[in-house]
Amino acid sequence: MSNELQKPVIGFTSGDLNGIGIELIIKTLSDTRVLDICTPLVFASNKSINFYRKSLPEINFVYQSVKDFTRLSPKQVNILNCWEEEVAITPGQLTEIGGQYALLSLQQGVAALKAGNIQGLVTAPIHKKNIQSDQFRHSGHTPYLKEEFNVPDVVMLMVAENLKVALVTEHVPVSAIKQYITKENIVRKLQILNQSLQKDFGINRPKIAVLGLNPHAGDEGLIGDEEEKIIAPAIKEAKDKDVMAFGPYSADAFFARGSYNKFDAVLAMYHDQGLIPFKSLAIGEGVNYTAGLPAVRTSPDHGTAFDIAGKGQADSASFVVAIFEAVDIIRRRADFAENHKNPLKKLSNNMVANAQDEAIRETED
């Protein structure tokens, strides 16, 4: 394995400047053991870092400031100054400035990821309202990354040690969910999820559970027919495309009975159906991963937490796991590519039998 893959450069976006993003970065990267697995590069500014560093006097956070990617130090945290001007930081406040500079950090981080200057990107939380602008008209990171990388579709995949939950629909109003529940969408999401489980998580033949849309998965059409008319046919088509998909299952019973333990991943129809049980079961260590991108992006499974911003109370557990997951996925992708670079053709049973017969005849001769 190359040195680059042994210790990849991982980028970090600041998130909303008034949220807990920079505090999480300081807390996480102050542990020098992180330097054993990656070279950190933070897309922010010295001034914004120092603002939050003052509120964490007990933490010894050391970094170097760099102006380009050729001067990164593998032995230190690197800060790439995305802006030089003074910025008004008001922890816990929803301001235009907080969103403006969150977008600037994100843009530079994504540009570096696309250019190959970093091997993975960990994004701190943004606020979906104040980041909106002519350059960002999306409901979150996931659709923004889909557009930036110009891919047909992506999957929001929540990852924890004991559970993986993917979504058909992400941040859409409940009243609009139904219009996105189509056979085509479900099949496409299942194919992306299946490929990601193989390539990014090293699962050779993943088993995927598919949840229903309605209570009790429609009760045989009594309280909704989407399961019979859309979801079940989508599962059948996915199976025909070599995806091991099963269901549809009633969401409440599925999680209450621990059925998720029998599967490698779960495809939920909408945000709360999947994320409420996920966040309850992941115990604060969940990671948001964007499956279907040519590059690796992870994020903690929580938001800006304005209520505790600037108070030094943010829990960095999910952020730490997001780093480890990004590094692990980079390595698994490299292993997958290496193992499938020159796949050996499998001999048919007849060919094997013929070869054995030939060996026996040579022995008898």
For the stretch 184-214, pLDDT in tens is 999 999 999 999 999 999 999 999 999 999 9
Q: pTM for this one?
A: 0.90
Say if 1-150+293-365 and 152-291 have the same CATH topology. yes
In this predicted structure, what is the pLDDT of residue 6? 72
d(CA 102, CA 309) in angstroms, rounded, equals 15
Residue 259 has phi, psi (to 5 degrees) of: -65, -20
Give 309-359 pLDDT, tens digit per residue.
Answer: 999 999 999 999 999 999 999 999 999 999 888 655 443 444 444 554 454
> Between helices 46-53 and 21-29, what is the axis angle to 10°?
80
Question: Are the CB atoms for 124 and 24 separated by under 8 Å?
Answer: yes
d(CA 245, CA 265) in angstroms, rounded, equals 10
Question: Are the CB atoms for 91 and 129 separated by under 8 Å?
Answer: no
What CATH number should be reported for the domain whose range is 152-291?
3.40.718.10
Question: Are the CB atoms for 5 and 330 separated by under 8 Å?
Answer: yes
Give 155-192 pLDDT, tens digit per residue.
Answer: 999 999 989 999 999 999 999 999 999 999 999 999 99
Give 74-112 pLDDT, tens digit per residue.
Answer: 999 999 999 999 999 999 999 999 999 999 999 999 999
pLDDT(19) > 70: yes
Taking alpha carbons only, the member of 253, 303, 246, 255 closest to residue 277 is 255
Interval 112-135 mean pLDDT: 96
In this predicted structure, what is the pLDDT of residue 238? 98
Instruction: Sketch the domain layout of the chain as residue ranges.
Output: 1-150+293-365, 152-291
In this predicted structure, what is the pLDDT of residue 343? 57
Instruction: Calculate the alpha carbon distances from 294 to 116, 186, 199, 322 in Å.
Output: 11, 21, 11, 18
- Averaged pLDDT of the chain: 92
In this predicted structure, what is the pLDDT of residue 359? 46
In this predicted structure, what is the pLDDT of residue 358? 56
Environment class of 129 (CB within 10 Å of its CB; exposed 0-12, middle 13-18, buried 19+): exposed
In this predicted structure, what is the pLDDT of residue 349? 45
Q: In sequence order, what DSSP letters do the residues of 128-182 get, joined into one string?
A: TTTT-BTTB-SSSHHHHHHHHTT-S--EEEEEETTEEEEESS-S--GGGHHHH--
Q: Count Cα atoms within 13 angstroms, Cβ side, for 150.
A: 1
What's the CATH architecture for 1-150+293-365?
A: 3-Layer(aba) Sandwich (3.40)
Interval 287-291 mean pLDDT: 98
- CA 44 remoteness from chain centre: 21
Question: Are the CB atoms for 315 and 348 separated by under 8 Å?
Answer: no
In sequence order, what are the residues at sequence separation of 6 or more whose Cβ sits closer than 8 angstroms to the Cβ of residue 220?
Answer: 228
In this predicted structure, what is the pLDDT of residue 5? 52
Q: What percent of the chain shows pLDDT beyond 90?
A: 86
Helix (H) or strand (E) holding 185: helix 183-199
In this predicted structure, what is the pLDDT of residue 364? 44
Give 228-270 pLDDT, tens digit per residue.
Answer: 999 999 999 999 999 999 999 999 999 999 999 999 999 999 9
In this predicted structure, what is the pLDDT of residue 360? 43
In this predicted structure, what is the pLDDT of residue 222? 86
Look up residue 61 and give its two tokens: 């956070």
